[in-house]
A and B are shown apart, each in its own frame.
Chain A
């Protein structure tokens, strides 16, 4: 059973709609009680980093999530701000992140972006795999995904990076260490490749 974490942020309905269509069992988790019998976890997120961390804390689910992810090694994927929360710190906020990955969230350097529009990085961009990973299987070479963010994920451990995207800098758009995954883009809004990626996660 996949649990979609609902702590008041992120388009929960979009994930639910996709898994319903794929006929993959899922539930929307609002409290610790909802996290019993969970085999996979989706951690969505939009908005500001500190607000997201605060909301997750307020939901009361964090200790149970840490037990599932860090001790029981249940696969988890953080999406957008949900991915950024996996890092230790963020330029966007004061609160520490979950620290499940050795990474920092940084603000894009606007001077290095050659587009007329600087931020947010909004629209469809290439997700370029740098190594093989199950979550990226069945995607075509030039697969594009929908992005919407102003801060990016910087891995301190190069081995954790599984795909990169170019927006002035080449940043980690998909990461994986053991059972912990993160994607900066929005698979729930990325048409057929997004569905494939969410299916790949379900199939892990």
Chain B
């Protein structure tokens, strides 16, 4: 049976991971490649790298990173951050990325989704959506939740699917950073509207939060960053716990 996916997200700036990490056997905590390798050995099902640097060298640095990651690990990985045009995606996919994730660029220019899907195939295009509630309704936000767009989240995810998104990565900005659990109510509502997979993001603080999102919604995957980076949740423990809670997961025997 198809298993639920657990996806650590790594923030990368100028080729280095940003958030602190305290894995005991890491030689270089800032090296995204080593961290990625560690996660893959622990049983992460996929990885997402989010480039938050803002330099002119960005495209080149990221392509180099993608090549190094592809050399070291063999689970699927997605690259996001600063992909504004076909050429950005082209260089990343050709360097070995399995998928690319677009966020603000897709809101500003929705045609980009069509173009990427036509150019590379739907399965390569993840549309990341940052959502935040205003007076009880959810709206798409840009720049980490700072800029409201006035676009309702439910209409945007449907449009993204229609235009050729292969997956939706839905981050609740109201839950993100709170470690109080995923926004299950909204996730289930969005997931029911779509036929493409939804990745839940924002709010993971404990193993119970992951069990809750998989038992109370039908999302395919859950993504988190800091709980994994700081070693607060270890992936093998999380998978074992989820299995005990009746969630289908893939477990890796560490060699």
Binary CB contact string for chain A from 111 to 155 against chain B (1 if under 8 A, 0 otherwise): 000011111111111100000000000001000101110000000
Chain B contacts with A in 201-222, Cβ cutoff 8 A: 218-221
Q: Is the CB of B198 within 8 A of A125?
A: no
Chain B contacts with A in 40-79, Cβ cutoff 8 A: 40, 45, 70-71, 74-76
Contacts of A116 in B (CB 8 A): 191-192, 218-220
Chain A contacts with B in 172-204, Cβ cutoff 8 A: 186, 188-192, 194-195
Contacts of B70 in A (CB 8 A): 13-14, 17
- Given A126-B1, A166-B1, A148 and B123 touching (CB < 8 A)? yes
Q: Classify the interface of chain A: helix, strand, loop or mixed.
A: mixed
Chain B contacts with A in 138-160, Cβ cutoff 8 A: none
Interface bin, chain B: 20 to 34
Contacts of B74 in A (CB 8 A): 14, 17-18, 188-191, 194-195
For A119, give the chain B residue with the smallest CB separation. Answer: B195
Binary CB contact string for chain B from 70 to 114 against chain A (1 if under 8 A, 0 otherwise): 110011100000000000000000001010000000000000000
State the CA gap A159–B141 with chains docked (Å): 55
Interface bin, chain A: 35 or more
Q: How far is the CB of B219 from chain A (nearest CB, A)?
A: 8
Chain B contacts with A in 15-44, Cβ cutoff 8 A: 40
- Given A11-B96, A116-B191, A144-B3, A189 and B76 touching (CB < 8 A)? yes
A167 CB within 8 Å of chain B: yes
A25 CB within 8 Å of chain B: no
Q: Is the CB of A120 within 8 A of B123?
A: yes
Binary CB contact string for chain A from 53 to 94 against chain B (1 if under 8 A, 0 otherwise): 000000000000000000000000000000000000000000
State the CA gap A93–B15 with chains docked (Å): 42
Q: How far is the CB of B147 from chain A (nearest CB, A)?
A: 30
State the CA gap A166–B1 with chains docked (Å): 6
A-B contact list, 11 entries, CB within 8 Å: A46-B121, A116-B220, A117-B195, A122-B123, A123-B5, A126-B1, A140-B253, A186-B76, A189-B75, A189-B98, A192-B255
Contacts of A122 in B (CB 8 A): 123, 166-167, 197, 220
B234 CB within 8 Å of chain A: no
Q: Is the CB of B75 within 8 A of A117?
A: no
Q: Is the CB of A17 within 8 A of B40?
A: no
For A51, give the chain B residue with the smallest CB separation. Answer: B121
A99 CB within 8 Å of chain B: no
B175 CB within 8 Å of chain A: no
Q: Is the CB of B220 within 8 A of A117?
A: yes
Q: Is the CB of B197 within 8 A of A146?
A: no
Q: Is the CB of A125 within 8 A of B123?
A: no
Which residue in B3, B40, B98, B197 is a CB contact (below 8 Å) of A117?
B197
B2 CB within 8 Å of chain A: yes
Nearest first, the 6 closest Cβ-Cβ pairs linking A and B are: A116-B218, A124-B250, A144-B250, A117-B197, A125-B2, A124-B3
- Given A148-B123, A189-B74, A194-B74, A125 and B3 touching (CB < 8 A)? yes
B247 CB within 8 Å of chain A: no
Contacts of B3 in A (CB 8 A): 123-125, 144
B252 CB within 8 Å of chain A: yes
Which residue in B5, B71, B197 is a CB contact (below 8 Å) of A17?
B71
